[in-house]
Structure 1
Amino acid sequence: MLYDAGCPLCTHVRDWLARRPQLVPLEFVPAGSPAAQARFPGLDHRTTLDEITVVGSGGQVYRGAAAWIVTLWALRDHRRVAHRLSTPSGMRFAKGAVLAAAKWRGATTARRGRVHRSGEGWTYDPRDGWHYTPPGCGSDACAAP
């Protein structure tokens, strides 16, 4: 699991996960670090700082809500929850939880003076707040009037 070592929420969750009984061993690597870049050379490391990223033992890459679900699946006491979250209605809940965490993370990161991209199209800029860019809308072509 790649996590933002400069984010209080991320390090808290990493510590919580490390204390849970695991059915599948979890390893925690600071996102964007030299260790992460050496271990996962094909990954877009800038993106790993924007949203939670989990790399499976077979090289599978999970991001956002799917990453949280696969992480919970690795925990002995949370595998049932992971199965529920993997359903269509559960995935909507998981995405909402990820967005809420990203919003909190972005707000706390912004207080430390850093512009933060939270994934799922949301960007937080401490100068003017949250912005949403739909997928494929990198220009003003998708801007609302």
Structure 2
Amino acid sequence: MATPMQPTRHLTVLYDANCPLCVHIRHWLLGQRWLVPLRLVPAGSFEAQRLFPRLDHAATLREITVIGDAGQVWTGTDAFIVCLWALAEHRPKAIWLATPAGRPFARGVMYAASAWRQAVRTGEEAACDEQCSVPG
């Protein structure tokens, strides 16, 4: 199961601050009612590197990364599900998305988001290049 198995006091979401979709989702997350507090930190930032010195910060710019207060790390589809799990209105959906029946839908959302990111990223500012992917 992709959702946290032990009590979680807070989650840190690393998002690409140069990606319009990621910034939009950040604002959306800030407007939700949280069951687990979220800390939203720009991926690759000084703060992210200070908080999580052992992470591959280049990878956090390619895919969403969520870190639990006990050091758990979720990326890609799992990170998406964990973000929904932290939200009051979306926890039941997250629990279903973590099942074998729901996981293909979560993966599809992540593939669509990855394709959209690739389509809107241009020039040298692009942090998400042809290596962008959404693992299982």
CA RMSD between the two structures: 1.5
Segments of 5+ residues of structure 1 without an aligned counterpart are: 122-145
Secondary structure of the equivalent of 1:76? Answer: coil
* Matched residue, 1:73: 85
Q: Encode CA deviations 1:32-80: one digit per residue, 9 max, x unaligned.
A: 0111000000100000000000001111000011001011000000000
- Alignment of 1:119 with 2:127, yes or no, is no
How far the C-alpha of 1:119 sits from its partner, in A, is: 2.1
Q: TM-score, normalised by structure 1?
A: 0.79
Separation in structure 2 between the aligned mates of residue 113 and residue 68 of structure 1, nearest angstrom: 24
Match runs of 1:91-130 below 5 Å: 91-110=103-122, 114=126, 116=129, 117-120=131-134
CA contact (8 A) 2:114 2:134 kept: no
Q: 1:81 to 1:96 in 2, by over 3 A?
A: same
Larger relative CO (CA 8 A, sep 6+): 1 or 2?
2
**Paired residues, number:** 121
Question: Which structure: greater helix fraction?
Answer: 1
> Percent identity over the alignment?
50
